[in-house]
Amino acid sequence: MYKTYIFCHHSKEQPQRYISLQKQVEHFRLKNVSFFSNTWKDDITPKIRKTYCKSLTSSLKKDGRTQPLHDAEISLFLNYISLLRKIKEEKSDGFFITIESDAVLKNDYTTRIESVIESASQLQNWDVINIGEGTRRGLRNPKYGYPKSKPIVINGHSFHHEDIHAATEGLIWNYDGVCKFLSEFDLTQDIDGPIDTKMDWLSMNGKFNIYWLEPTLMVNGTIFNIYQSDIPKPWDTEYKTTIHRTLQFKKILHLSFHKGCINDFHYVCDKLGHTCEVLSSFKECCTNQSVEPIWEPDNRHYMITHDAAIKYWNRYKDYFNQFDMIVTSDTAILSRIFLQNGWTKPLIIWICNRFDYFHTSRPDKEYFELFHRATKQPNVQIIGYTAFENVYCRKAYGIEVGDTVITPSGGISDTYKNHVPRPGVSDTLFVPPYHNDTKMMNLTEQLQSMGFQAYSGKYNGPMDLTNYKAVVHIPYAWSNLAFFEMFSLGIVYFVPSINFFNTLRKDKWFFWSPPFVELLITISEWYEPKYSEYLITFDSWEDLKKKVNTLDYENHKSKLIEYGKKHEKDVCEKWNKVLT
């Protein structure tokens, strides 16, 4: 059981915040809630200031602040102290959620909070969990590098042990954390900084344990400019749409049959603060488990005909209409569900596998007409995940989709939360279990004949590859999610040079995600010149042996990760322009 306390002044000073919070309680059907306020900023007298404000914390001085605290900062601190004392006196255990007056709950708050609380009960050694977005968008900038800790993933929720807050619009306290903070405060009873800075200082000095929840459950309405002199009816019947538009956040539905695409787009949405749900053929990837996955036997869900588009539209239209925007990825034919049925909200088609992919055959003429027409629809944007997708539309079918390309970010979201360390393989070369590596030739046997330990087989997501010394791979596609995950995870890849690649495939059962156009090989990510310094290419087996044995692995991994941070930032900026 947990108790929720909301900080909000009940009088005329903050009427819009109070009304908004009341409406949120009603809208989200929050239970076990108390509104709490003991001191307002106008109550701060010179006597109170003299009694409590005795100094500035080291962290404030470090940041160059020399000015006295504002009355509102003092009153908020005193309200926290009063509430924490009430909890300590009246309770003996439990969890306590504090929500400040300018908090705006995300649409998935109700569906996630119980699971977050349950997960928190399994988390060790924490005092408070920050569940608000606050200033995290700024702190995620590579300049600051937050969150800095590796995530502890419990039931799909990521918890990061950090040394600072990012504002305090939403916190989960445990009873020990309440008592610990009060004990530290009572040593001096000095309000020597804002409440969040006080906790930061204690954390930096090893006296208090702050965790971040990712993704967050609410945002700070002041930081996101919701609360100004007046706000435009944020609690009418159009609550969900209004609040997300006000925040410039979107509630997005992502349709995809590819876990890698699901992972990457979910990661980006989390970074940008958008709420993203998934509808997939994989039930475990579907956000709303009460919604039936798009799945048919024998992979027929890839073959979206005219009739299938009508069937899926009728089955899911009420669900679709809950969202501000639809994004399709992996197989563009998913967009037919919307193009054929008059969808007028934004539709983003992220082509990741030729727009005409239809599993065992080709789409019908109507689909091509719909897709061609979509290029001129103002609500539709078509994006390639590699440059070849755009070229293919243009050259193969005369459909001009423009030149917008957004590659995968390479980020790792909770979609891949099942990483398990694999001991004993740190000197083993991993060979992916794909056609060119296993059927065109037995690459594993080749490496073993050269004296290397090598393994080929299924692997448990991209993080599993970090267990191995490196990956040796013969490319088979214009782009792969794994290529960009290489950067973020620092995975070393050895691939044949273009010349040796052509030698290896000659007169063999070679595969390339069709069509293979040799003249365009340099627009494949694997052979794109701008990435050449990040892939270790070899011109012969002797050259490979030499490079495997002499590479400075730690230096190369550091170079990959450094570039990965820049690449991720660039990709997020591109998506931000599209989504907002």
Domain ranges of the chain: 2-220, 250-406, 417-568
Average pLDDT score over residue span 335-348: 97
Confidence band of 1 (pLDDT split at 50, 70, 90): low
Residue 158 reports pLDDT greater than 70: yes
Domains 2-220 and 250-406 share a fold: no
Cα–Cα distance for residue pair 483/570, rounded to 1 Å: 16
- The secondary structure of residue 101, as a DSSP letter, is T
DSSP labels, 287-306: SSTTSPP---GGGGGG---H
26-35, 244-253, 510-519: which has the highest mean pLDDT?
A: 510-519
Tokens describing residue 400: 């001009």
CB neighbour class for 427 (10 Å; exposed up to 12, middle 13-18, buried from 19): exposed
Average pLDDT value over all residues in the chain: 88
What stretch of H or E contains 538?
A: strand 536-538
Q: Does domain 250-406 have CATH number 3.40.50?
A: yes
Amino acid (1-letter code) at residue 429: L
What is the rounded CA–CA span in Å between residue 298 and residue 360? 10
Both tokens of 523, joined, read: 């627009």
CA 137, CA 148: separation in Å to the nearest integer?
14
pLDDT digits (tens, 9 = 90+) for 64-118: 555 678 888 898 899 999 999 999 999 888 899 999 988 889 888 888 898 999 9
Query: In angstroms, rounded to a whole number, what is the distance separating the alpha carbons of residues 267 and 101?
Result: 29
pLDDT tens by residue, 307-332: 999 999 999 999 999 999 999 999 99
pLDDT in tens, 252-310: 999 999 999 999 998 888 777 677 899 999 999 999 989 999 999 999 999 999 999 99
What class, spelled out in words, does domain 417-568 have in CATH? alpha beta
Output the pLDDT for position 230: 33
What is the topology classification, in CATH, of domain 2-220? Answer: Spore Coat Polysaccharide Biosynthesis Protein SpsA; Chain A (3.90.550)
Distance from C-alpha of 406 to C-alpha of 521, rounded to nearest angstrom: 19
DSSP state for residue 11 in the 8-state scheme: S
Range of lowest pLDDT (177-191, 349-363, 492-506): 349-363
